[in-house]
Amino acid sequence: MTDKTGPHARDLLAWYDRHARPLPWRIGPDRSKEGERQDPYKVWLSEIMLQQTTVAAVTPYFTNFIARWPSVSDLAAASDDDVRSAWAGLGYYRRAANLHACARLVASEYGGKFPQTATALKELPGIGDYTSAAIASIAFGESVAVVDGNVERVFSRLFQFDTPMPKVKRDVSEHVKACVPVDRPGDFAQATMDLGATVCTPKNPACALCPWNESCAAFKAGDMERYPVKAPKKAKPRRFGSALVRVRQSDGAVWCETRPDGGLLPNMTQVPTTDWIKAETQPELDNRYRGAEHIGAIEHVFTHFALTLQVYRQVEDNPADDRSGWWSPPQKVTQEAWPTVMVKALKLALPELTATIRPKKN
Ligand code: SF4
């Protein structure tokens, strides 16, 4: 591993000095080298806002919050409604509630000053491993590893870690920690984030512009996008079923039913189908439809299982109406509330009629 004044930190900080992104919550490298520290309130606010969201989306919200509530104590004194409505549009509203709870705690228990170590910060509402390390490092100069998704990707490539995610995080943290320079830990954290966001991107990393390209193992191997290695997906359990597309001969109308109110795809439209069961034996259609023509099978993957659905078609001379469904005429059938699995079945059974059909839900 590299020592604390190692070449990785030196090369990266030299790059950061030239290419740091100007961000409204950031003290740039020039001022930071002079020893100026960022306002912990701004670091905390930006980091909470940036969870699951982009810099571009966060910037106007951040600017508005700071204008309305310039300090953590101001934010603590704001009403729930004001904070909630200022947050509206950023999503994940639980974060807004945690943000406000955290501000109140810092104002009441800590005299309006954030605690200065990652360990103490992690005790506050809404602050986890990453955010506590980011605040401690950027605002207070603590020498801790700050590892977000960007940093995980950069270091997995730099050292060609073959351990899949999320386990690789431990190796990444150890190596990041070994690289953090004693004099500029906050700049190093921000530089690794910037490198991941602007150069070492998930697709087509700009390795020619990277300050670490001479030592990057994945770049040398020409295999950058393999890292970070993803854990193999678990095979989903498979279910089997049969579905019948009934067509009225006189006008080409298709028989539709509404799925039950609870369970999978509630209240959406379907053609008659058997239950979708786990056994390998193919469920058979109702006795009334034993003469239906077998057209083929479709595959569909739901969140918790994969489905093989045998598709049948039956053209009926003079079918009786009943209350379990309705006949949808050809000009209306594409507008019914079909989920994707049913669209696949219809396209197989009636390719010309349903060429333009679109699912209303997956
Ligand atoms: Fe990422 Fe390429 Fe730099 Fe390696 S050389 S860290 S793959 S940008």
What string of H, E and C letters represents the secondary structure of 9-72? Answer: HHHHHHHHHHHCCCCCCCCCHHHHHCCCCCCHHHHHHHHHHHCCCCHHHHHHHHHHHHHHCCCH
Catalytic residues: 47
Whole-number Å distance between alpha carbons of 296 and 307: 14
Q: What average pLDDT score do residues 331-342 get?
A: 93
pLDDT of residue 125: 95
Q: Is the pLDDT score of 318 beyond 60? A: yes
Spell out the residues 6+ positions from residue 31 whose beta carbon is closer than 8 angstroms to its own: none
Strands 238-248 and 306-316: parallel
| pLDDT recorded at residue 78 | 97
**Pocket flag, ligand 1, residue 103 (CB < 6 Å):** no
Residues with Cβ < 8 Å from 287, sequence gap 6 or more?
none
pLDDT at position 361, please? 64
By percentage, how much of the chain surpasses pLDDT 70?
98
| pLDDT tens readout for residues 280-293 | 677 788 877 878 99
Residue 298 has pLDDT above 50, yes or no: yes
Q: Does residue 160 line the site of ligand 1, with CB under 6 A?
A: no
Integer CA distances (angstroms), 307 to 38, 268, 278, 301, 344, in order:
54, 17, 9, 6, 12
pLDDT score at 362? 60
Average pLDDT, the chain: 92
Percent of the chain residues topping a pLDDT of 90: 78
Measure the CA angle with vertex 221, ends 16 and 214; round to 5°.
Answer: 35
How confident is the model over 267-295, as a mean pLDDT? 86
Measured by CA distance, the residue closest to atom 2 of ligand 1 is: 207
Taking the model in full, what pTM does it have? 0.68
Instruction: For ligand 1, say whether the CB of 186 is within 6 Å of any of its atoms.
Output: no
Q: Which burial class, exposed, middle or buried, applies to 177 when counting CB atoms under 10 A from its CB (0-12, 13-18, 19+)?
A: middle
Helix (H, G, I), strand (E, B) or coil at 175: helix
What is the rounded distance in angstroms from the CA atom of residue 333 to the CA atom of residue 327? 9
Query: Could you give the CA distance from residue 46 to residue 51 in angstroms, rounded to a whole number?
Result: 9
CA distance 159 to 215: 9
> pLDDT (tens digit, 9 = 90+) per residue, 1-51?
444 447 899 999 999 999 999 999 999 999 988 878 899 999 999 999 998
Mean pLDDT of the region 68-97: 93
Torsion over CA: 154, 170, 146, 212 (sign): negative
Each residue of 165-184: pLDDT tens digit? 989 999 999 999 999 999 89
Q: Residue 124 and residue 112: Cα distance in Å, rounded?
A: 13
Tell me if 226 sits within 8 A of 202, measured CB to CB. no
Of 18-22, 205-209, 262-266, 271-275, the range with the lowest mean pLDDT is 262-266
CA atoms of 175 and 337, how far apart (whole Å): 52
| 262 — pLDDT class (breaks 50, 70, 90) | confident
Ligand 1 centroid–CA 200 distance in Å is 5
Ligand 1 pocket test: which of 152, 158, 159, 227 has the largest number of ligand atoms within 8 Å of its C-beta?
Answer: 158
**What's residue 2's pLDDT?**
40
Write out pLDDT tens, residues 88-122. Answer: 888 788 889 999 999 999 999 999 999 999 999 99
Take residue 149 and report the two structure tokens written for it. Answer: 């998704």
User: Is 219 touching ligand 1 by the criterion CB < 6 Å?
Assistant: yes
